[in-house]
Amino acid sequence: MNKRAMYLLLPGLLFLAAFMLVPITLTIASTFVQDGKLTLEGYLHFFRDGYFNRILLTTLRVSVVTTLICMLLGYPAAYYISRASARKKGILLALSIFPLLTSPVVRSFSWMIILGKKGLINSFLVNTGMVAKPLDILYTPTAMMIGLVHLFLPLIIITLLGVMENLDHELVRAARSLGASPFAAFRKITFPLTVPGLIIGGILVFVGSLTAYTTPALLGGKERVVSTFLYQNAMTLNDWQAASVIAVIMIVITFVVVGLMNAWANRLNPKG
Amino acid sequence: MKKMMTAGLALALTSMLAACGSNNASTGNTDNNGAASGAPAELVISTWGFSEDFFKESVYAPFEKEHNVKIVVEIGNNAERLNKIRQGSSDVDVVYLSDYYAQQAIDEGLFETIDSSKIPNLENIYDIAKAPLGAEYGPAYTVGRLGIAYNPALVEGDVTAWSDLWSKFDKNLAMPAITATAGPMIVDAASLAAGNADFNEDTAFTKLKELDSNVVKYYSQTSEYVNMFGQEEIAGGPIMEMYFKDLQAAVPDAKFVAPSEGAYAVMNTVNVVKGSDNKELAEAFINWQLSEEVQAASAKAKVDSPVNVNVTLTPEEAVGVTYGADVIGKLRKLDMSFVNEHITEWTDRFNREIGG
């Protein structure tokens, strides 16, 4: 690359260094120091604590389930959109991105109206006599997952769509002509070639659910997730040390999950 | 694959930025200090976001005119705004905070002491409001109360006492989060309900634990309560009287009671921030906030309950307003230094033993 052109990178790099790398490094460094001494006490304190482990498990469970549901719902939808005619594709794409364009607060409030005791679902179930008493859906982890799936499904559809549009359908046709059943062609050709999209979409959804704040705060009930716990420590208890430790734990989990998913992608599609 | 990665990264960044954007929206209003030289002095006021129009028109505008000053408002909840002052990253002169947060600021030396001779209206307010956190610091400009609101259609019989929270509600109760202003009051109410004359932390927490299975949500914002009440997700729970009008709008039959053990005084204070360049102007503003004119207007608009003894309200005007010397006299008041000493421990216990 032209050496002078490199200078064009400089403003962006400086910005990232000043407002991202430095603060994150400081945050991470601060968690290892207590009373002027280098220690792991901050972390040990959290991991010895049954209460924190429970919050962490709830968060991981919600994130994993959300990611899996998004993959299951997003894959066929993206496949269908990728095969549609250009005009139809535009409309379908716009529709699927639409949730991203509304604020998380508005979205969560709509879910409250749908899931509540007097909400659409419960009114329907009670009026048709399917249940005697309204179900408890709102203010449970289930409500949280529904909200998160709604929020993050567009991400996985968009990433998958990018991969599927570039898929060479001659390959599928070739497989069929050589005697593969439609399912075998899908399993051996289409699926492996689209795995990268699935993985990247999955990472986006997982990281997003892990760190989401508004949706769990509004739709979740008494059950707590890591991000709302972090908020409580930082904003209402003013315990920035604990908040930093939690933040670092979240960053580490993110990196571990990204690593694992990449490893998985490599196994499914070694040439990806 | 590489292209995909870049696209994915770009998407992730965009969504993160979008998330940041929506968080910061509430703290707007601070950037418009473009006062040119020779322009009127600027008084920065940090307050909650509620009834903004009322404050602009009936409180700020007349004061700006009289003192040739431009008022700049910074908006946020108690914790956010106190944190900003802690970090020293704002130039706030006057700050509105609930007594519980104001006590923290005092303990950390963030407030200027006030000169009560500059605030003559202090003479005209209820004793309880004059110096809730010590005579050197700002007064309570409003005293509200925390009682119980409920929907009679969903509760059998009348609710009359704090102890009724334990007997009359069935999986349809909203309780304040421990970190909310009302959180510590609930700990005290639980201690009362357990039959203690003096505060007992252990029995209070045991009692709260008993209640947990009937609680739908521990709310940290009153708007959550109002929503749940309107949707009949909850039948009721402890709430501040000033929000009762919102409950009535959703459920006309809704009732508010001051429990027989005593409702809790909720005091919002107004103070001068340390390092303010406009101390005298700030004191003049506090005096104006306590004046009969402002106090009567905000009571009639049902924005804040009055502390000025000269304000008189008709029974109709007094609905949803904590009003009258006898009502004020019966309120229970928490010792905010005691609460602040214990709140971290209580929050921890509450998290562990009870729930969100």
Provide the mean pLDDT of chain B. Answer: 87
Q: Which pLDDT tens digit goes with each residue over B58-105?
A: 999 999 999 999 999 999 888 889 988 988 877 899 999 999 899 999
Interatomic CA distance for residues A114 and B347, integer angstroms:
32
pLDDT over 70 (residue B32): no
How far apart, in whole angstroms, are the C-alpha atoms of residue B311 and residue B323? 9
- DSSP state for residue B262 in the 8-state scheme: -
Question: Tens of pLDDT along A136-176?
Answer: 888 888 999 999 999 999 999 999 999 999 888 899 899 99
Q: pLDDT category, B22, cuts 50, 70, 90?
A: very low
- Does any CB of chain B come closer than 8 Å to the CB of residue A221? yes
Contact criterion met (CB below 8 Å) for A247 and A230: yes
CA distance B229 to B251: 8
Average pLDDT score over residue span B132-136: 92
Given CB atoms, is A99 within the 8 Å cutoff of chain B?
A: no
What integer pLDDT is reported at residue B39 of this predicted model? Answer: 61
Identity of the residue in A103, A163, A221 whose CB atom sits nearest the CB atom of B217 = A221
Domains of chain B (ranges, CATH numbers): 10-143+268-321 (3.40.190.10), 144-264+336-353 (3.40.190.10)
Give residue for tokens 């670092």.
A248
Q: How far is A41 from chain B (nearest CA, A)?
A: 18
| Confidence band for B166, pLDDT divided at 50, 70 and 90 | very high
pLDDT reading at B23 higher than 50: no
Q: How far apart are CA A222 and CA B355, in angstroms?
A: 6
Which of A236, A255, A269, A271 to mutate against chain B (most B CBs within 10 Å)? A236
Nearest chain A residue to B343 by CA distance is A237
DSSP string, chain A: --HHHHGGGHHHHHHHIIIIIHHHHHHHHHTTEETTEE-SHHHHHHHT-HHHHHHHHHHHHHHHHHHHHHHHHHHHHHHHHHHS-HHHHHHHHHHHHHHHHS-HHHHHHHHHHHHSTTSHHHHHHHHTTS-SS----TTSHHHHHHHHHHHHHHHHHHHHHHHHHT--HHHHHHHHHTT--HHHHIIIIIHHHHHHHHHHHHHHHHHHHHH--HHHHHH--S---HHHHHHIIIIIS--HHHHHHHHHHHHHHHHHHHHHHHHHHHHH-TT-
Highest mean pLDDT among A258-267, B152-161, B346-355: B152-161
Q: Is A216's pLDDT higher than 60?
A: yes
- CB distance from B22 to chain A under 8 Å? yes
Closest CA to B171 of A8, A188, A138, A169: A138
Burial group, residue B109, by CB count within 10 angstroms (0-12, 13-18, 19+): exposed
User: CA-to-CA distance for B94 and B294, rounded, in angstroms?
Assistant: 17
pLDDT tens readout for residues B305-332: 999 999 999 998 998 899 999 999 999 9
If pLDDT is split at 50, 70 and 90, which confidence band does B237 have?
very high
Give the tens place of pLDDT for each residue, B215-228.
999 998 888 899 89
Residue B159 pLDDT level (bands cut at 50, 70, 90):
very high
- Asked if B317 has any chain A CB less than 8 Å from its own CB, the reply is no
Q: Are strands B264-272 and B94-98 parallel, antiparallel or unpaired?
A: antiparallel
Confidence check on the interface: ipTM exceeds 0.90, yes or no = no
pLDDT at B9 over 50: no
DSSP label at B124? Answer: G
pLDDT at residue A272 in the model: 52
Q: Which long-range contacts (CB under 8 A, 24 or more apart) does A173-177 make?
A: none
Closest CA to A197 of A82, A64, A75: A75
Residue A210, pLDDT above cutoff 90: yes
pLDDT of res. B37: 43
Percent of chain A predicted with pLDDT > 70:
98
What tens digit of pLDDT does each residue of B251-283 get?
Answer: 999 999 999 999 999 999 999 999 999 999 999
How far off is chain B from A199, nearest CA to CA, in Å?
10
Position B207 pLDDT exceeds 90: yes
Question: Tokens in use for A52?
Answer: 């924190």
| In chain B, % of residues over pLDDT 90 | 72
In this structure, the strands spanning A37-38 and B41-47 are unpaired
Chain A residues touching residue B170 (CB < 8 angstroms)? none
For A87-132, the pLDDT digits (tens) are: 999 999 999 888 888 888 888 889 988 998 888 999 999 999 888 8
**SS3 label, residue B60:** helix
Assess whether pLDDT exceeds 50 at residue A246: yes
**What distance in Å separates the CA atoms of residue B180 and residue B219, rounded to the nearest whole number?**
8
Place of tokens 């993050």: A152
Average pLDDT, chain A: 89
* DSSP-derived secondary structure letter, B38: T
Q: Are B130 and B139 in contact (CB under 8 A)?
A: yes
